[in-house]
Amino acid sequence: MQLHELKPKHKNRAKKRVGRGGAHGTYSGHGMKGQKSRAGRKMEPIIRSLIKRYPKLKGYRSFAIDNYFAVVNLEVLEKTSKDGETINPENLIKKGLISKMKGRTPKVKILGTGKLTKKLVVENCKTSKTAKEAVEKAGGSIK
Protein backbone atom coordinates (compact mmCIF):
# COMPACT_ATOMS: atom_id res chain seq x y z
CA MET A 1 0.00 0.00 0.00
CA GLN A 2 1.29 3.38 -0.99
CA LEU A 3 0.74 6.71 0.80
CA HIS A 4 -1.49 8.05 -1.96
CA GLU A 5 -3.73 5.01 -1.69
CA LEU A 6 -4.75 5.68 1.94
CA LYS A 7 -8.40 6.62 2.49
CA PRO A 8 -10.16 7.84 5.68
CA LYS A 9 -12.54 5.52 7.52
CA HIS A 10 -15.35 8.10 7.55
CA LYS A 11 -16.67 10.43 4.88
CA ASN A 12 -16.02 14.18 4.99
CA ARG A 13 -18.92 16.13 6.45
CA ALA A 14 -20.03 19.22 4.52
CA LYS A 15 -19.93 22.52 6.46
CA LYS A 16 -23.42 23.76 7.39
CA ARG A 17 -24.34 26.90 5.46
CA VAL A 18 -26.70 28.93 7.63
CA GLY A 19 -29.20 31.32 6.13
CA ARG A 20 -29.26 29.70 2.71
CA GLY A 21 -32.41 27.64 2.89
CA GLY A 22 -32.46 24.14 4.37
CA ALA A 23 -33.50 23.46 7.96
CA HIS A 24 -32.94 27.01 9.23
CA GLY A 25 -34.53 28.83 6.31
CA THR A 26 -33.65 32.29 5.06
CA TYR A 27 -33.33 34.02 8.44
CA SER A 28 -31.07 31.38 10.03
CA GLY A 29 -32.76 31.55 13.42
CA HIS A 30 -32.38 35.33 13.78
CA GLY A 31 -35.99 36.20 13.06
CA MET A 32 -36.95 39.10 10.80
CA LYS A 33 -35.16 42.45 10.62
CA GLY A 34 -34.23 44.53 13.66
CA GLN A 35 -31.09 44.99 15.72
CA LYS A 36 -30.88 41.38 16.87
CA SER A 37 -30.97 40.03 13.33
CA ARG A 38 -28.02 42.10 12.05
CA ALA A 39 -24.57 40.66 11.58
CA GLY A 40 -21.75 41.90 13.79
CA ARG A 41 -23.85 44.14 16.08
CA LYS A 42 -24.27 42.67 19.56
CA MET A 43 -26.80 43.88 22.11
CA GLU A 44 -25.16 46.02 24.80
CA PRO A 45 -25.85 44.82 28.35
CA ILE A 46 -28.33 47.10 30.15
CA ILE A 47 -26.11 47.36 33.23
CA ARG A 48 -23.30 48.96 31.18
CA SER A 49 -25.33 52.10 30.49
CA LEU A 50 -26.09 52.41 34.21
CA ILE A 51 -22.43 52.01 35.18
CA LYS A 52 -21.31 54.61 32.63
CA ARG A 53 -23.67 57.20 34.16
CA TYR A 54 -21.97 57.11 37.56
CA PRO A 55 -19.33 59.79 38.19
CA LYS A 56 -15.82 58.39 38.20
CA LEU A 57 -13.83 59.34 41.28
CA LYS A 58 -10.06 59.13 41.55
CA GLY A 59 -8.39 56.74 43.94
CA TYR A 60 -9.40 53.66 45.87
CA ARG A 61 -12.65 54.20 47.74
CA SER A 62 -13.25 52.27 50.92
CA PHE A 63 -15.05 52.94 54.16
CA ALA A 64 -12.31 53.43 56.73
CA ILE A 65 -13.50 52.77 60.29
CA ASP A 66 -10.51 54.68 61.68
CA ASN A 67 -11.78 57.92 60.13
CA TYR A 68 -15.39 57.39 61.25
CA PHE A 69 -16.81 58.99 64.40
CA ALA A 70 -20.10 57.95 65.95
CA VAL A 71 -21.84 61.17 66.98
CA VAL A 72 -23.80 61.56 70.23
CA ASN A 73 -25.47 64.79 71.35
CA LEU A 74 -25.77 66.04 74.94
CA GLU A 75 -29.57 65.93 74.79
CA VAL A 76 -29.41 62.17 74.16
CA LEU A 77 -27.02 61.67 77.08
CA GLU A 78 -29.35 63.73 79.30
CA LYS A 79 -32.28 61.43 78.53
CA THR A 80 -30.48 58.07 78.72
CA SER A 81 -27.88 58.43 81.51
CA LYS A 82 -27.99 58.71 85.28
CA ASP A 83 -26.23 61.21 87.50
CA GLY A 84 -22.54 60.34 88.03
CA GLU A 85 -22.47 57.75 85.25
CA THR A 86 -19.39 57.02 83.14
CA ILE A 87 -19.77 57.66 79.41
CA ASN A 88 -17.46 55.67 77.15
CA PRO A 89 -17.86 53.87 73.79
CA GLU A 90 -18.53 50.47 75.43
CA ASN A 91 -21.35 51.85 77.63
CA LEU A 92 -22.89 53.69 74.67
CA ILE A 93 -22.98 50.43 72.69
CA LYS A 94 -24.67 48.64 75.61
CA LYS A 95 -27.33 51.38 75.76
CA GLY A 96 -27.87 51.15 71.99
CA LEU A 97 -26.92 54.76 71.27
CA ILE A 98 -24.16 53.71 68.87
CA SER A 99 -23.43 50.45 67.08
CA LYS A 100 -20.29 48.51 66.24
CA MET A 101 -18.81 48.97 62.78
CA LYS A 102 -17.58 45.70 61.21
CA GLY A 103 -17.23 44.15 64.67
CA ARG A 104 -15.14 47.00 66.05
CA THR A 105 -15.99 49.76 68.48
CA PRO A 106 -15.96 53.11 66.63
CA LYS A 107 -14.51 56.35 67.93
CA VAL A 108 -17.10 58.56 69.59
CA LYS A 109 -17.53 62.32 69.46
CA ILE A 110 -19.89 64.12 71.80
CA LEU A 111 -21.48 67.27 70.41
CA GLY A 112 -23.00 70.15 72.37
CA THR A 113 -26.60 70.10 71.09
CA GLY A 114 -29.03 70.26 74.02
CA LYS A 115 -28.71 71.01 77.74
CA LEU A 116 -26.98 68.87 80.34
CA THR A 117 -27.86 68.93 84.06
CA LYS A 118 -26.32 65.62 85.22
CA LYS A 119 -22.74 65.06 86.37
CA LEU A 120 -21.16 62.75 83.81
CA VAL A 121 -17.64 61.32 83.56
CA VAL A 122 -16.63 61.15 79.89
CA GLU A 123 -13.85 58.70 78.95
CA ASN A 124 -12.22 57.81 75.61
CA CYS A 125 -14.47 60.18 73.68
CA LYS A 126 -13.68 63.29 71.70
CA THR A 127 -15.79 66.30 72.58
CA SER A 128 -16.64 69.53 70.87
CA LYS A 129 -15.81 72.83 72.58
CA THR A 130 -19.44 73.50 73.58
CA ALA A 131 -19.93 69.92 74.84
CA LYS A 132 -16.80 70.16 76.98
CA GLU A 133 -17.99 73.44 78.53
CA ALA A 134 -21.47 71.99 79.20
CA VAL A 135 -20.11 68.83 80.89
CA GLU A 136 -17.75 70.83 83.12
CA LYS A 137 -20.48 73.38 83.92
CA ALA A 138 -22.80 70.54 85.05
CA GLY A 139 -20.06 69.30 87.41
CA GLY A 140 -18.80 66.40 85.30
CA SER A 141 -15.31 65.68 84.01
CA ILE A 142 -13.60 64.63 80.78
CA LYS A 143 -10.73 62.12 80.84
pTM recorded for the entire structure: 0.55
pLDDT of residue 21: 57
Indicate the pLDDT class of residue 62, thresholds 50, 70 and 90: low
* Angle made by CA atoms 74, 79, 81, in degrees to the nearest 5: 85
For 76-133, the pLDDT digits (tens) are 999 999 999 999 999 999 999 999 988 889 999 999 999 999 999 999 999 999 999 9
- Rounded alpha-carbon distances, angstroms, from residue 22 to 17, 26, 31, 36, 37: 9, 8, 15, 21, 18
| For residue 75, pLDDT beyond 90 | yes
Indicate the pLDDT class of residue 48, thresholds 50, 70 and 90: confident
Neighbours of 64 (CB within 10 A): 7
Domains of the chain: 70-142 (3.100.10.10)
Q: Mean of the per-residue pLDDT values for the chain?
A: 86
pLDDT of residue 90: 94
3-state secondary structure of 62: coil
For 4-47, the pLDDT digits (tens) are 999 888 888 887 666 665 666 777 777 788 888 777 767 878 88
